Amino acid sequence: MSDNQPKKKLVGPWQSLHVVIWLIGIYILASRGWWWPGILVLVAISTLYEAFLRSLVPQAYIDEKPATPVTSGQGMTPPPVATNPTPVSASNINEHRLDLLPQVCPACNGPIRGHEVKWTGPQSANCPYCGTNLPMNKA
């Protein structure tokens, strides 16, 4: 089935008969111990049943509605999406000075890496392990 066609769902007594085929098939497989290759035969019977219904009884299927996202409230609309994002300037990209960070935290001796610290300002960061404000090296 291609992506542009809606999915079809088996309904009514046809769906019930499909379930009965599976239940009887599983019972026979379990009682006789024919799990392999019996399960393959059961899948083939199920597929042939669905193919038979699709060709001879098209009213056994209805179009399945596409899933809609669940919202927390009834009738709520999603927030508007910003169409014009704020431009990123060169000063915003290079405001964190990694070269000023110490190698280890003076409080807990944990290793300091620029991508792990919590930046609190352009030249101010907290240790990712203990939360201590890190003293910056002199430039």
If one compares 126 and 18, the residue with the highest pLDDT of the two is: 126
Quote the radius of gyration of the chain (alpha carbons, Å): 31
Angle, CA of 115, 117 and 122, to the nearest 5°: 90
Query: Which pLDDT value is given to residue 55?
Result: 74
Q: Mean of the per-residue pLDDT values for the chain?
A: 76
pLDDT at position 18: 78
Residue pair 57/49 in contact by the 8 Å Cβ criterion: no
**Chain segment 41-98, per-residue pLDDT in tens:** 989 988 888 878 777 776 766 666 666 555 555 556 666 665 555 554 444 445 777 7
pTM over 0.85: no
Mean pLDDT of the region 96-116: 86
